[in-house]
Amino acid sequence: MDTSIFDKYETVIGLEIHVQLNTKSKAFCSDATQFGSAPNTQVSVVSLAHPGTLPRMNKQQIINAVRLGLALDCKINPTNSFDRKNYFYADLPKGYQITQDNQPICLGGEVPIKIGEEVKTIRLHHIHMEEDAGKSIHDKHPKHSYIDLNRAGVPLLEIVTEPDLRSADEVDALMTKMRQLVRYLDISDGNMEEGSMRCDCNISIRLKGETHFNERCEIKNVNSMRFAKRAINYEFKRQVKLMEKGEKTLQQTLNFNPETGVTTPIRSKENAHDYRYFPDPDLPPVQLSEDFIQEIKAALPPLPDALYQQFTKQYKLSDYDANILVEEKETALFFLDLIKHTKNYKAAANLMINKIRPYCQEHKISSSDFPIAGKKLSDFIQLIDDGKVSSAIAYQRIFPALIEQPNNTPLAIAQELNLLQESDEGFLEKLVEEAIAKNPDKVKAYQKGKKGLIGFFMGEIMRSSKGKADPKATNALLRKMLEQ
Ligand code: ADP
Ligand code: MG
């Protein structure tokens, strides 16, 4: 297929994103939710659906749903309620999933995503609360499947978007944004690899310029961005082929096989489940007072988009710097603390991006565990700003020493290591004289007009002073003596 199909057709995508919440206990009982425990060790009679057991709502799930809803500009639905979604599967002991069908907790909302230089807004249809099913394991035994019910009943939020996405790259941007947000809000670890975030991708195609939507397919349980991209691109081409042949895409639920790179139907529209949704009689509707919502709103942490605006507008940082600083909440908070102590925002950003963040990544620690506090780091910046050390020397020698001796001060370290910059005239004069005496040819060339040689002399003097010569004072003196 030639590349012109990308000019002729567009992909239309809507996502159903499942976020596993990091609550200590399950959605409707007190079983633990820890990931990676031995199979079937986190299952009580409620998870096992013994007759006579009753669900009881986990308040934290509601709080987390409201936090996410507020962060995404949703309308919080003050009276929302649970429904049963009935189907049979071995990893679903009750025979139904508790979910919200008719009255979800959050309505509408939107997510701005960045596509190149442009910001595009993806509208949300709603967010609802539900519970996860257990896990079926088909690859541990040649004949049998295993069931692990530790995950049965773990709280989920499902975010349903409008069909506003137009490419795999936009899907990537949205999922990355959602992961960042749930981590900022501390409601989920957002790890796709561990299944804490997965999505169903609804995909259709249409001729560019058309305004109606065509029949769609739904790819189930995409749990990595790489697979999502491959699955979407495969589906796009498959549907274009059908359309070019004059055939219709059938509404189907698909599975994507990462090994073959191909989507295969699980079921068609005719065989679609009838889940026979009905209100769950065991759970009363959730009533949210305005005070409760406002309390949650007041406790929201600073969020990445607002921080980005603050960093670029108020602190005049570049788009590049601001993006790195807001990527992770810990980095952003550390930076906010650092700039309480210094007004040199650019230097603080440089230090954060080039030294502190790489150090934390290398040592696999959070920025909040970085050994040197904001105040001392601002002293470090001040040392450079006062011209006491060059920034190269500070970064290469003083910073590592400071990490070794976090109780010492940057100035004391500079003194101990004999790194304080010299602006003393006598000291500099001697160095400049030496450099001039050693290079008579270059001096002549300079005096004949090759002014660029000033860089060569500066280099010589920096070397002979081991970086201690104050560049500004040296430069002035050098010019004076060369021109004599
Ligand atoms: P259902 O509730 O039957 O699963 P919805 O209409 O609520 O279906 O949509 C589910 C998801 O499918 C949403 O994310 C929506 O944006 C997306 N979607 C709906 N129609 C289309 C379409 N024609 N092409 C692509 N995605 C679609
Ligand atoms: Mg659906």
Q: Write out pLDDT tens, residues 369-411.
A: 999 999 999 999 999 998 888 888 899 999 999 999 999 999 9
Together in a domain, 320 and 356: yes
State the amino acid at position 61 in one-letter form: Q
Tokens encoding 40: 């079937």
Per-residue pLDDT at 172? 95
- For residue 42 and ligand 1, the question of a CB distance below 6 A is answered with no
In this prediction, residue 422 carries a pLDDT of: 72
* pLDDT > 90 in the chain, percent: 76
Q: Is 216 in the pocket of ligand 1 (CB under 6 A)?
A: yes
Residue nearest ligand 1's atom 13 by CA: 14
Does 461 have pLDDT greater than 80? yes
Q: Which residue has the tokens 């633990």?
A: 32
pLDDT at site 11: 97
Q: What are the tokens at 355?
A: 């030294």
Same domain, yes or no, for 330 and 184? Answer: no
> Both 258 and 315 in a single domain?
no
Strands (DSSP E) found in 152-270:
155-161, 197-207, 217-222, 252-257, 262-268
Answer with the one of 370, 388, 408 that is the final residue of a domain.
Answer: 370
User: What band does 465 get if pLDDT is binned at 50, 70 and 90?
Assistant: confident
* Boundary-marking domain end, from 262, 293, 324: 293
Which of 102, 216, 274 is the best mutation target for the ligand 1 pocket, counting ligand atoms within 8 Å of the beta carbon and taking the most?
216
Lowest-confidence segment of 39-53, 339-353, 361-375, 426-440 by average pLDDT: 426-440
- Arithmetic mean of pLDDT, 216-240: 92
Residue 1 confidence class, pLDDT cut points 50, 70, 90 = low
Choice from 202, 207, 236 to test ligand 1 binding pocket (greatest atom count within 8 A of CB): 202
For atom 7 of ligand 1, the residue with the nearest CA is 160
Report how far ligand 2's centroid is from the alpha carbon of 428 (Å): 75
Out of 111, 160, 220, mutate this one to test ligand 1's pocket (max ligand atoms within 8 Å of CB): namely 160
Residues 105 and 254 in one domain: yes
In the structure, what pLDDT confidence band is assigned to residue 350 with cuts at 50, 70 and 90? Answer: very high
Assess whether the C-beta atom of 155 lies below 6 angstroms from ligand 1. no
Do residues 216 and 118 both lie within one domain? yes
Cα(160) to ligand 2 centroid in Å equals 8
Instruction: Identify which has the larger pLDDT, 437 or 26.
Output: 26
91 is written with which tokens? 């990893």
What is the total count of domains within the chain? 3
Shared domain for 136 and 221, answered yes or no, is: yes
CA atoms 94, 95, 97, 100: torsion sign:
negative
Distance CA 194, CA 35 (A): 8
Please provide the average confidence, as pLDDT, over all residues in the chain: 93
The C-alpha angle with vertex 196 and arms to 193 and 198, in degrees rounded to 5, equals 80
Encode pLDDT of 291-330 as tens digits. Answer: 999 999 999 999 999 999 999 999 999 999 999 999 999 9
Domain match, 268 and 127 both: yes
Using the predicted structure, report yes or no on whether residue 21 has a pLDDT greater than 60: yes
Q: Take residue 428 and report the two structure tokens written for it.
A: 């500099």
Check residue 428 and give its pLDDT.
Answer: 83
The structure's pTM equals 0.88
Is 201's C-beta closer than 6 angstroms to any atom of ligand 1?
no
Q: Is 408 contained in some domain?
A: no
pLDDT for residue 473? 84
Judgement on whether residues 101 and 131 belong to the same structural domain of the protein: yes
Say if 24 falls within a structural domain: yes
Asked, for residue 205, whether it belongs to a domain, the answer is: yes
281 within domain boundaries: yes
Does a structural domain hold residue 316?
yes
Ligand 1, atom nearest to 214 Cα = 23
The answer to whether residue 393 sits within a structural domain is no
411 is a domain residue: no
83 has pLDDT over 90: yes
The confidence score (pLDDT) of residue 222 equals 86
How buried is residue 100: exposed, middle or buried, by Cβ count under 10 Å (0-12/13-18/19+)? buried
Question: Is residue 403, in this structure, part of any structural domain at all?
Answer: no
Q: Are residues 204 and 316 in the same domain?
A: no
Examine the pLDDT at 72 and tell me if it is beyond 90: yes
Cβ(474) – ligand 1 distance below 6 Å: no
Sign of CA dihedral 188, 192, 193, 194: positive
> What are the tens digits of pLDDT across the range 115-132?
988 999 999 999 999 999
Q: Give the mean pLDDT of 137-153.
A: 95
CATH code of the domain containing 430: 1.10.10.410
Q: What is the dihedral of CA 129, 42, 183, 60, to 10 degrees?
A: 50
Cα distance between residue 83 and residue 86, in whole Å: 9
Residue 34 in contact with residue 101, Cβ under 8 Å? no
Residues of the domain holding 160: 3-293
317 vs 475: which has the higher pLDDT: 317
Closest atom of ligand 1 to CA, residue 160:
14
Share of the chain above pLDDT 70, in %: 99
Specify whether 258 is located in the same domain as 335.
no
162 lines ligand 1 (CB under 6 A): yes
CB 429 within 8 A of CB 463: no
d(CA 227, CA 180) in angstroms, rounded, equals 20
Q: Which atom of ligand 1 is nearest to the CA of 204?
A: 24
Q: Does residue 204's CB lie within 6 angstroms of at least one atom of ligand 1?
A: yes
154 pLDDT band (50/70/90 cuts)?
very high
Residues 69 and 40 in one domain: yes
pLDDT above 80: residue 2: no
Same domain, residue pair 287 and 356: no
